[in-house]
Structures are given as C-alpha cells and as structure tokens.
Amino acid sequence: MRKLKNNLEPNLDINDKTQISTWLIVLIFLIPVFVYLPGILGKIPYPSDSALYTDLILTHYPNALYLKQSIIEYHQIPLWSSLIHSGAPFAANPLAGLFYLPGWLALLFPLPEGISVILAVHAVFGSWGMYQFLKEENTGEIGAVAGGVAFGLLPKMAAHYGAGHVSLIYAISWTPWLLLVSRKDQKGWKTGITAALLFLADPRWAVYAGMFWFSYEFAHRQKQGFSTNFLYYLRSGIIAILIASPLILPMYEFVGLSTRLQMGVDDIQAFSLAPAKILNLIIPASGGSPEWYLYSGGIIIGLFIMQIFIKQLREKNRFWSAWVLISLLISFGSWLINPSWLVNLPIISLLRVPTRAFFLAGYSLTVITARSLDSIITGGLGHKRLSKIAFSLAIFSLGMGLSITYLLGEFSIIAIWGFGFLFLFSILILISKPVAKERGWIWILVGLMVVDLFGAGIQSYYRKDKNEITSREIVDSIKEDTDKFRLYSPSYSFPQYLAVENGFELTDGVDPLQVAAYSEFMDKASGVTSQGYSVTIPAFNTGNPALDNAGSMPNAFLLGLLNVKYVISEFMIDNPDLHEIPTGDQSYLYVNSFILDRAWIEDELICEENYQLKNSKKISNLEFSPNRIGLTAYGPGRLVLSEVYYPGWKVIVDGDAKAIEQAYGLLRSVDLTEGEHEINFKFQPITVYIGLGLAAIGWTLAVWQIRKDK
C-alpha cells in the first residue's frame, strides 16, 4: 500500500525524460484562440441561433466604442457616459472596464472584433497560468500541458463568450494566476496586485475567486506561525484594496444610489440550476441559457470518475473534488436552499446567477485531469485496475448514448457528444498500456480531449454577421436632424451599439446598474412599471421586448423633459402627442410634440399648461464633451439642464462655483441672476480622484517592497 501511494507522487526522473519542444507547447497553447476566431474575423457570437441579444453587442462593444471615440474626438478619458439612461457614471460602472487597462488593448483593433482578440489573448493567458500553476504543484509536463490547455478550452467559457460576458472571461483568466502567485509569494505584495487586477476585470467574479483562493490558502499554505500568515493576508488585502480603489470607491457610491439594492431573493437566485439539468455535465447543451452550461468534456469527466474509484488518487484530489461538489451545490441556488438571510448578506446580496460558481468546478476538474494523467503516466495505478474501471465506463457510456438516441427518435451528435468521448476514453484505456515506458497513447488521449473541448466550445455559441442584426432605415430617417435630442424606445428597437455608432443618445438601455431616481422617473415617463429589479429601462417583464410593452402609454411631456424628440417602437403607440413619421422600416417612428431643448431658463415650473415657457429665455453656445457641458444663458431665472443629477457634477457660473439643485426630482439646475452668464458643468467625481491617489500609493508601495525583498 505504501509503495502504491508513493508511486502516485510525480516521478520527476521519469517526467523529466518527457521533452516537449518549446514551439510545440506554444502551438498547443494557441489552440484556444480558434474558439474566438469567428469573432476576430467579424462574426458576432450569440448564445443560440434564436437568441436576439448578446452582452458583447448590448454593452461591451458600445462602451469600448464610446471610450475610443471620446479619446480620439475629445482627447478625454470619459468619466461620464451620455450613451444610455440620459447619462450615467462611466467610471463607476465595472462593465465599462475603464480601470482594467488590459481591456484597453481592444481599442487598438477595429471594434467589435478587437474585443474577441483580447478575449482570445486572455484565454491563452489563463491557459499558460494554469500550466505554470500545475508545474508549481509538481505535476509532470504532459499533465500540466493537458490541464493548461483544458482550462483555456473550457466549453462553459465559450458558452459565456456567446452570451457576451466579456469582463467575466477576463476575470476568470486571472484565477490560476491568483493561486500561482499566492503559492510562490511569501510577503503578499504580488498576491495583492493579482487580486486587484482580477477585481478590476470583474468585481462579481472576485467574490467567487476570493472564496476559492482563501480555501486553497487555508488548505495548502505552509504553517509559518500566526503572525507571519496574518501579515501576509494583511499586506495582500491592503494592496488589493488600494490598487482597485479607482473602481471600488465610485462603484460603491453608484451601487448605493442604484436599483441594485432593490434586488429580491428571486433576482439574486436567477438562473439557479434545476436538478433536471444535471445531465448538462455530460451533454454539451445549455438547456435554454449559457448560464446552465456545465459540460466540461467527456474525457475530463472520465478521468474524474476514474479517480473516485482509486482511493489513493481520490485522497490526493480531495480538495479539488470537494470544490467540484461545492460549486455544483452553489449552482443549484434556490432549488437547494433559499434562506432570505443568506442572500441578504453584504456583498452576496449584490450578486446574481449562482451557476457562475461552476467555473470553479471547471478549474478544479482541470487540476484533477492533470493529476490523474500524471499518475497514469508514472505507472502507479495498475493496468488491471484501470481496465476494470474503463470497461464499466465503456458499457455505461455506450448504453447512455443508445438510450438517448432511442428516446430522441433520431441521431443527434450533440446529445451523445459527451458519452461518445467518454466511450473513446474508456476504449483507449482498455487497449493501451498506461505505464511509464509507453507514453505515446497518452498524447492520443490528450488530443482527443482537445478535440472534445474545442468541438463542444465552438458549438456552444452561434455566429451571425453584423449586418444581420443591423437595421439602418430608422437611422436614415433621423440622421439629417442636426438638433440635440435623445431617443426613446419601449421595445428596444434602437440598440445602444447603433446609437453610439451614429452619435445618438438614448433614454432607455440595458445595464445592471441604474440610478434609482432615474429608474423611478422613467417608470412614469415610459408608462411601464417594472416588477422588481430589471437590467433594462424600460423593463420587459416577460423578456420579449417586441411585445411586452405594447399598450403602454408613454408620457410625452415627461419624455420631453429628457429632451426626447423621437420615439421608436415595434408596435403602434396611440398617443396624440406622438406623431407618426412614415419610414421604410418595420418599426414605427414618432416625433414628440412636447420636446424640450437640452437646456432652458424658467421663471416657474414647466408643465403641460405653460409649456411655452421653454422658449422664454435664450440659451446659446451649447457645447458637449464627456466630462463637461458649457453654455451661455441669459437670466434671471432657473437654468435647467436636461441631464441627470448625480454626485460629482459641479457648476461654474462666470468663474464662480455654484450649488447644483435638482429639478423635477432628477435634472440639474442652477439659479441665475439677471444678465448674460458663462456656465460650465464639469464632472469631477471625488471618489475617482481619491481612488486614483490610493492606487498610486498601492502600486508604489507594492513595487518598492517587491524590489526591496529581492
């Protein structure tokens, strides 16, 4: 028994004889790039052929294009975005990626293709990090290469690429580096830097990655005394918070003013994994949503099952096997446990979609794969034992494949994909001699694993041409209008990427973070009342934008206060204050008779009865840039700017700072005395500036200490 246990440990003398040339390793680790190749070549990834939306086009492409245009046209880094919701804090929004500098590399390429390029780079980066982590764990070369490329080819990652979850993939790619750096880091400075970069990529994933990292630290960190370990965690925590402060501080402020605090238990537990979908572990199908995509590969599942029946290997992998189980239990969400106290805990209450925890299972399965292959290579498991397990798996996978085909009444490659590769894995184990001196077959196994993961990944999303999802008729109808105005659509008929491409601004839009006061105002202005938390304004209560809000009655006057000139809809709107304009598009286009200018002077509150006051005083020289609005106005009266009131905006009147007041519960205003005035509204959020200062301190301290410790 002791001899067998010792054989399970990596035999360095044997593994060192396995020479893999550098160019071959480079080629292997470039394989994940091909998962993202359609997007690099101009296709748009979608979750399925019937899916209408993807976050890549909804959010990440418009944000990246807005950032690029702001830098080129205004020579400014935008801290405020005028793109959707009549304006919102750009720097405070984690989906903007403003402080995640690696994401800026996408701007060097044509968009949206550049986003797929950087996603591919992150996949390779994550693969290499996993490879290095496995090597640090004393895994043999073949096992480390297999585990590394398996991580970059995780089909769940490809499925979320189809959903457009760009920032999530960025952050997940940092996970192996977090564990690798912390394993080698004695003082905590490098760990803190890595944790901060992961947080800046996507704060939501940082919660899961933080739990994963801490449990790994607790289980594997060498016992160095309480004070030594405490100082390590203290240093890494302080550095992480300091470097991530440019996002932490404004985001914390934004969340406190947003609808995110209105999420209920059902919102937090959205897309919980139904027990009936457990077969997604071995069948590469989403079951209706990429969030339910669990497939990790037939070969990988085979190795995972194999190690369960080998005591010594099972004990060696118990930490990683435990996390496979923990991740699965978390993914069940409300199907398993639904206590209100749990989802109302700080931080947890701001998270949604528990199935994303399953990425930790994917990570753990790749480690188990690498270790299991390593143990097979060293020859310590015994061919007879492996043959018995392989024979059972072959019968099981063959039976399941035939049963599924019979139940479907037809042959489906996707339905039996996982069982097919599990069968091939079993047959290969049966006919091969997995001993140290004969390793050629192991490369066949690794090759099958790559084909399995790549094939499942490329089938986990659907590819569309950009011109399939772009409608230009409405754009042609309004692009000649040179006035400053906003658009509104109750049916998401004018997507935000199309708006930013053509220089339009929207009152509606899609984003998980919304100013609560604006959401309340739009409930009245749109005539659509949201039923709980919604990522869209207006809400689409059944998820069908083309029909959900049919019959709603927009308030033309309130929309006019937001400078809405045109309303675009998939259905007819019976409102006498909205006048239809014929177009060649299937959508309906209306002009708002209550349109107000972007700024006006008033002696009293404007209402429908005294609407003519909008032109009672003159506004001129109106200039806009991302962080500044300048104009000339004639007093006396109250200057109202049709822009959302938000902390950080300041107003300078004739060179003197004045207080900004709220008008109509939402807009910015300032009182003016008689005469002509030069007025500048500037967005100077103190939270961002403090955060940048803290980040500078954090980087300086960390770099200085790292150099000092060398």
Whether the Cβ atoms of residue 331 and residue 281 lie closer than 8 Å to each other? no
- Whether residue 96 sits in one domain with residue 46: yes
Of 11, 31, 15, the residue nearest 447 (C-alpha): 31
Q: pLDDT grade, residue 202 (50/70/90)?
A: very high
Answer whether residue 701 is part of any domain.
Answer: no
Report long-range pairs for 652-657 (Cβ below 8 Å, ≥24 apart): 652/679, 652/680, 652/682, 653/677, 653/678, 653/679, 654/678, 654/679
pLDDT band at 470 (very low <50, low <70, confident <90, very high): low
Tokens 């996707």 map to which residue?
Answer: 414
Q: Average pLDDT in the 43-49 region?
A: 92
pLDDT of residue 268: 78
Query: Is 696 within a domain?
Result: no
CA distance 334 to 341: 13
What is the span of the domain harbouring residue 155?
2-462
- Asked whether residue 319 falls in the same domain as residue 232, the answer is yes
pLDDT at position 612 is 57
Distance CA 589, CA 582 (A): 7
User: Measuring CA to CA, how many Å separate 373 from each of 165, 350, 381, 525, 536?
Assistant: 32, 39, 11, 61, 47
**Cα–Cα distances in angstroms (integers) from residue 566 to residues 172, 482, 507, 690, in the given order:** 41, 13, 11, 40
Domain identity same for 364 and 499? no
* Residue 314 bridge partners (DSSP): none
**Does 377 score more than 60 pLDDT?**
yes
Shared domain check, 518 and 409? no
- Tokens 């500048």, residue located: 680
pLDDT tens profile 156-166: 999 999 999 99
Let me know if residue 612 belongs to a domain: yes
Out of 41-50, 349-358, 538-547, least confident range: 349-358
Distance in angstroms (rounded) separating the CA atoms of residues 587 and 480: 18
User: Taking the chain, what is the end-to-end CA distance rounded to the nearest angstrom?
Assistant: 43
**With contact defined as beta carbons under 8 Å apart, do 683 and 250 qualify?**
no
Which residues contact residue 347 at a Cβ distance below 8 angstroms, ignoring those fewer than 6 apart?
A: 207
As a dihedral over the C-alpha atoms of residue 349, residue 352, residue 358, residue 359, rounded to 10 degrees, the angle is: -100
Judge contact between 453 and 154, C-beta under 8 A.
yes
Per-residue pLDDT, averaged over 36-58, amounts to 92
Q: Given the DSSP bridges, would you call strands 649-653 and 667-683 parallel, antiparallel or unpaired?
A: antiparallel
Same domain, 398 and 491: no
Asked whether the beta carbons of 697 and 667 are under 8 A apart, the reply is: no
Residue 436 has pLDDT above 90, yes or no: no
pLDDT of 611: 63
**Domain ends where: 592, 610, 627?**
592
Q: Take residue 47 and report the two structure tokens written for it.
A: 């979750």
Q: What share of the chain is helix, strand, coil (3-state, %, to 5)?
A: 55, 15, 30
Query: From CA 673, how far away is CA 617, in angstroms rounded?
Result: 13
Rounded CA gap, 438 and 68, in Å? 55
Residue with the two structure tokens 């990246």: 64
For 569, the enclosing helix (H) or strand (E) is: strand 564-569
pLDDT at 636 over 80: yes
Q: What is the overall mean pLDDT for the chain?
A: 89
Strands 564-569 and 486-488 come out as parallel
- The percentage of the chain sitting over the pLDDT mark of 90, rounded to a whole number, equals 66
- Hunting for tokens 């040339």 — which residue is that? 21
Cis peptide before 636 (omega within 30 of 0): yes
Report the C-alpha gap between 7 and 46 in whole angstroms. 47
Q: Give me the mean pLDDT over the 640-651 stretch.
A: 96
Residues in the chain: 710
The distance of Cα 509 from the centroid of its chain, to the nearest Å, equals: 17
The pLDDT tens digits for 249-262 are: 999 999 999 998 88
Residue 702 lies in a domain: no
| 211 and 168 inside one domain | yes
DSSP state of 587: S
Provide the CA 525 distance to its chain's centre, in angstroms.
30
Are 168 and 306 found together in one domain? yes
Name residue, tokens 């053509």. 502
Same-domain check for residues 481 and 452: no
Q: What number of other Cβ atoms are within 10 A of residue 181's Cβ?
A: 24
Q: Which residues contact 76 (CB under 8 A, 6 or more apart)?
A: 70, 625, 626, 627
Task: Answer yes or no: is 708 within a domain.
Answer: no
Tally of CB atoms within 10 A around 321: 20
- Encode 454-480: b = buried (16+ Cβ within 10 Å), e = exposed: bbbbbbbbbebeeeebeeeebbebbee
Over residues 551-582, the pLDDT tens digits come to 899 999 999 999 999 999 999 999 999 999 98
* Stretch (H or E) spanning 88: strand 88-89
Same-domain pairing of 99 and 71:
yes
Where is the domain boundary, 462, 480, 510? Answer: 462
Cα dist from 533 to 111, 202, 270, 443, whole Å: 31, 21, 11, 50
Residue 710: inside a domain = no
Residue 6 lies in a domain: yes
* Cα–Cα distance measured from residue 133 to residue 254, given in angstroms and rounded to the nearest whole number: 36
Rounded-to-integer distance, Cα 522 and Cα 562, Å: 10
Tokens of 528: 């659509």
What's the rounded Cα separation, in Å, for the pair 631 and 641?
10
The count of domains in the chain is: 3
Check whether residue 575 and residue 644 sit in a common domain. Answer: no
Highest mean pLDDT among 48-62, 120-134, 585-599 belongs to: 120-134
Instruction: Say yes or no: 564 and 658 in one domain.
Output: no
Q: Which residues of 682-693 are buried (b: 16+ CB within 10 A; e: fewer)?
A: bbebebbeebee
CA angle 113, 115, 121 (to 5 degrees): 110
Residue 541: the pLDDT is 85
pLDDT at 25: 83
DSSP 582: -
Both tokens assigned to 502: 């053509």
Of 539, 567, 592, which residue is a domain's last? 592
Residue 19 has pLDDT above 60, yes or no: no
- Are 602 and 610 a contacting pair, CB within 8 Å? no
pLDDT grade for 38, boundaries at 50, 70 and 90: very high
State the alpha helices, DSSP H only, in 164-277: 166-173, 175-184, 189-201, 203-220, 226-256, 265-268
Q: 412 and 405 in contact (C-beta within 8 Å)? A: yes
Q: Which tens digit of pLDDT belongs to each residue from 162-191?
A: 999 999 999 999 999 999 999 988 899 999
Tokens standing for residue 453: 């993961």
User: Which among 135, 254, 361, 277 has a CA at the least distance from the CA of 646?
Assistant: 254
Please spell the DSSP secondary structure of 304-330, one letter per residue. HHHHHT-HHHHHHTHHHHHHHHHHHHH
Q: Between β-strands 505-506 and 486-488, what pairing exists: parallel, antiparallel or unpaired?
A: parallel
- On the 0-12 / 13-18 / 19+ scale of CB atoms within 10 A, 19 is exposed
Are residues 222 and 325 both part of a single domain?
A: yes
Domain assignment present for residue 707? The answer is no
**3-class SS at 600?**
strand
- Average pLDDT of the segment spanning 429-433: 80
DSSP β-bridge partners for residue 438: 435
